[in-house]
Amino acid sequence: MSKKKIAFLSLSVVLMLTLLGGAVFGQTAQKNNIYRYLSIFSEVYDLVKSNYVDQTQADQLMDGAFSGVTDAVDEFSYYVPPAQMTAYKTFDGEEDNGIGLVVSKRFGYAYVLSAVPGSPAAKAGIERGDFIEKVDGKNAQKMAIWEVRNALRANKAVKLHVIRGGQTKREDFTLQRTDFHPMALTNETVRGIAVIKIPYFEKDTAAQFKTALEQIRKSGNRKLIVDLRGNAGGDVEQAIAAADELLTSGLITSIEGRKVEQRRWQADRDTAYDGDLEVLTDNSTAAGAEVFAAAIHGNQRGKLVGIPTYGKAIVQQFIGLPSGGGVQMTIGHYTTPDLKPIKEQGVRPDVIVDLSAAAIPEPGSKDAAKKQPDLIMEKALSLFTEQQAAKSAA
């Protein structure tokens, strides 16, 4: 899209946000403000129609303006023009796809929040932080996020042109949609410390987590690390139930919003494990995993170690418009135990780990083939070691 069109859309956002907010949520603004915005919009619209180097279509400009509104709200909301609703109905707003990519839109590209462990995408080597530049040869920058997600759900091989995160290198992948099953929760012992990895919250994850906790408790191990890195999707209810297995009281989370039914989840008195606890997070920890991490942090049940989470613990709804189009809109958000929204900035750990030492080298360098150290896990393990040393000294 040209700079002039982008400028037009940017100037249109203020007007459209006001009008859309009033239409969708029933808000009203003072008449003089509305008339002022209408005047600005009319002037910009006429200017582009009369002076832009190429002839422009009214529908194209208006669709772009409405898309600018949702882009200004958050990266998860989007506008669907009437002409694309037939295609959108086959998508139905679902994030899930048969290749295992959880994607959002950043810097104009499709951004990989996570490649679900056990999925075709993960097996092919696509990683969190990668950018999808093209889908089946189509420029992803010109696709709305729902179009990207819909293309990833195709019942055929999907060709992706990917920019590797932190590099300038580009790679091509061909992925086939399958009915894959995400990797199950794992339970192991590292240097005498129990480590549970939860790659995805799906049906029965909470039950599996409870079983693992009971095994650790019976073994007498009083040190536990729960790894939520890369867990960017799945069932939020399962995440809430799993967090409850570590809590005996307090608010786990709530749903807040002007147009959503408010709910609150309180921890019950039963717990499957009461030993020392650390939870690992990174910027691909999102949705239910963020709720889990916030519940542990907010109730002072254990330490969070790593880097801030993504900020995607939200509730969305598709709202049809009289024009025939519609808007996928964030109408609510999950909260921390102190009722702060888990979005935008995500959940901040107690112990921030500097990952600059593990920066990905440029392709072709001597260090490119070396396995990078897991600095977050190493920090978590060392904290337990330091804790034990302090107790021994005391």
Secondary structure (DSSP) of 230-287: T---B-HHHHHHHHHTT-SSSEEEEEE-TTS--EEEE--S--S--SEEEEEE-TT--T
pLDDT of residue 298: 97
Is residue 257 a contact partner of residue 332, using CB atoms and an 8 Å limit? yes
Query: Same domain, yes or no, for 162 and 116?
Result: yes
**Domain that includes residue 66, residue range:** 3-73
Query: Same domain, yes or no, for 236 and 376?
Result: yes
Query: Same domain, yes or no, for 214 and 325?
Result: yes
Q: What is the dihedral of CA 202, 208, 213, 218, to 10 degrees?
A: 180
What is the number of domains present in the chain? Answer: 3
Task: Tell whether 366 is covered by a domain.
Answer: no
Any idea what DSSP says for residue 207? H
Task: Tell whether 127 is covered by a domain.
Answer: yes
Last residue of a domain, one of 151, 175, 199: 175
pLDDT of residue 92: 62
pLDDT of residue 244: 98
Task: Tell whether 83 is covered by a domain.
Answer: no
pLDDT of residue 7: 42
Query: Same domain, yes or no, for 22 and 103?
Result: no
pLDDT of residue 53: 66
Query: Same domain, yes or no, for 225 and 328?
Result: yes
Task: Tell whether 78 is covered by a domain.
Answer: no
Query: Same domain, yes or no, for 237 and 351?
Result: yes
- By 3-state DSSP, what share of the chain in percent is helix, strand and coil, each rounded to 5? 35, 25, 40
Task: Tell whether 348 is covered by a domain.
Answer: yes
Shortest CA distance to 240 belongs to which of 212, 267, 200?
267
Query: Same domain, yes or no, for 61 and 159?
Result: no
Query: Same domain, yes or no, for 207 and 354?
Result: yes
pLDDT of residue 221: 96
Task: Tell whether 341 is covered by a domain.
Answer: yes
Query: Same domain, yes or no, for 55 and 98?
Result: no
Hey, what amino acid is at 392? S
Task: Tell whether 79 is covered by a domain.
Answer: no
Last residue of a domain, one of 11, 38, 73: 73
Shortest CA distance to 243 belongs to which of 255, 256, 226?
226
Q: Is 99 helix (H, G, I), strand (E, B) or coil?
A: coil
Query: Same domain, yes or no, for 318 and 219?
Result: yes
Query: Same domain, yes or no, for 164 and 210?
Result: no
Query: Same domain, yes or no, for 283 and 351?
Result: yes
- Using alpha carbons, list the distances in angstroms from residue 125 to 152, 162, 231, 233, 301: 16, 11, 16, 19, 35
pLDDT tens sequence for the chain (394 residues) = 444 444 444 444 444 444 444 444 444 445 567 777 777 777 877 777 777 767 777 777 777 777 777 877 888 889 999 989 988 888 765 666 778 999 988 887 899 999 998 899 999 999 989 999 999 999 998 888 889 998 888 788 999 999 986 677 889 999 988 888 788 899 999 999 999 999 999 999 999 999 999 999 999 999 999 999 999 989 999 999 999 999 999 999 999 999 899 999 999 999 999 999 999 999 999 999 999 999 999 999 999 999 999 999 999 999 999 989 999 999 999 999 999 999 878 999 999 999 886 655 555 545 544 567 899 999 999 999 887 777 767 6
As beta bridge partners, residue 329 has 317
Task: Tell whether 364 is covered by a domain.
Answer: no
Is residue 199 a contact partner of residue 183, using CB atoms and an 8 Å limit? yes
pLDDT of residue 68: 75
Region class of 350: left (phi > 0), else alpha (psi between -120 and 50), else beta: alpha
Supply the pTM of this predicted model. 0.83
CATH number at residue 292: 3.90.226.10
Last residue of a domain, one of 153, 175, 197: 175
